Copies of this chain bind each other. A is one copy, B any other.
Amino acid sequence: MVAPLKVGIAGLGTVGAEVVRLIEQQGAALAARSGRGVRVVAVTARSKKKRGLDLRGVDWAESPQALAEDSNVDCFVELMGGADDPAFSAIETALKAGKSVVTANKALIAKHGLRLAKAAEQHGSALNYEAAVGAAIPVIKTLREGLSGTSVNRVYGILNGTCNYILTRMEHEGLSFEECLKDAQRLGYAEANPSFDVDGHDTAQKLAILASLAFGTKVAQTAVYVEGISSITPEDLRAAEELGYRVKLLGVAVRTAKGIEQRVHPTMVPKSSSIAQVMGVTNAVTIDGEGIPPITLVGPGAGGAATASAVVADIADVARGIRATPFGRPVDSLRATTKAPMERHEGGYYIRLLARDHAGTAATIATRLAEQKISLESIVQRHRNDGDVNGSAKKASPVPVILITYATSEDAVHRALKAVQRDRVISGRPQVIRIEKN
């Protein structure tokens, strides 16, 4: 049998500690599965506290950089986080020394992935990052290796558990975004500063990575249009339910006649689709390959154990001798993408308006939409305060109107709604949610 793969781990937080434990527990199975033993020989972390790990015989490197330079290490595992240094330099050092690298760091891969992949290709090393998107869901492997025979037309998914948890609770309990966010923070599902999650940036980083693997484009977070979930109301979720949809924060990358469109926004998906069934912190990715029905992968998108599971699988691939090109194709062959011009996006739209309840309002709205050649799949007019004691005041108060359009352009929707606002037949800002069909 070959000498064991000698692993160095930088970062001993929840994931790092769990990786050490898994390699210990799964040692025999790992050796049987990869034809080679796997042994942690060195670690580094900010503090030397015990963490309940048995680290006898394991070297403590004084820095990530020192660990990356350690000639005793074959495989450098980066679990510190942070898009830049010290993680970036340490990984680059390891790759240039011919070591394989495993990381769970999506921010770093989204920002520096291309440069690191180039170094990996030049030195014949692996750069594996399955845990960076969807934790234990094998989506990187599926796109990088499993679908080599298929031209991908669209990849989309629920990539952020915090947002899906909030939307699920809003839907099930009729609560507001703010209430659910507070609860998510209390339960540890959302950060004290939730913007990175709820404004869609976390999803955008992951989507940029998936788009590169699916379409052979350069990873570019700046090419992703991003919109978060804070504008979604319980009324939207109720209306969606009634009309046969659910609202999810999706990351969508799709091949269009105008190029690859990458976007993150709240999205209405048909209730019957696989993605609509995904509740709580669970993640899911759907891949539409040319000529074949969609493939959907569902599972835990975060959590120490799930992330560690993917990290150890990546290490096992290194032990097995698998050296997949980091982005599926050589970095030099990846094409540049530009930011999706959303005003040219085409699709169906959900529009919720507060219409002033007087004669001619409906006709005005219908006319403005018709002027932009927008056809309607359905219209729902909802009566407010039904059965309310103030029923007598009903006549004067605005009435919610919900419109579902057939495919049209975003531009047309904006022009129609601007005209309706100028006509002063609605109150406040219209709510607009894009529809994604399966």
Contact = CB atoms under 8 A, between A and B. Distances in A.
A305 B291 contact: yes
Dominant SS at the A interface?
A: mixed
B300 A298 contact: no
Interface string A241-280: 0000000000000000000000000000000101001110
Contacts of A176: none
A435 to B, nearest CB: 20
Interface residues of A, number: 62
A322 interface: yes
Nearest to A148: B316
Interface in A341-364: none
A308 interface: yes
Interface stretch (A30-38, A39-47, A190-198, A379-387): A30-38
B295 A298 contact: yes
A400 interface: no
A151 interface: yes
Given A295-B297, A297-B297, A299-B295, A141 B136 contact: no
A299 B146 CA distance: 13
A392 interface: no
Interface in A1-40: 22, 25-26, 29-30, 32-35
Given A22-B149, A138-B138, A316-B148, A306 B292 contact: yes
Contacts of A292: 136, 299-300, 303, 305-306, 309
A102 B190 CA distance: 46
A356 to B, nearest CB: 41
A418 to B, nearest CB: 40
A130 to B, nearest CB: 7
Contact of A149 (B293, B316, B325): B316
Interface in A134-180: 136-138, 141-142, 145-151
A322 B322 contact: yes
A310 interface: yes
| Chain B CB within 10 Å, residue with most, of A26, A146, A277 | A146
Contacts of A320: 145, 322, 324
Interface of A: 22, 25-26, 29-30, 32-35, 130, 136-138, 141-142, 145-151, 216, 272, 274, 277-279, 282, 289, 291-300, 303, 305-306, 308-313, 315-317, 320-325, 328-330, 333
Given A22-B150, A26-B151, A137-B295, 15 more contacts: A25-B151, A29-B151, A30-B148, A30-B149, A32-B216, A136-B292, A141-B145, A272-B279, A274-B277, A291-B305, A292-B309, A293-B299, A295-B298, A295-B300, A297-B297
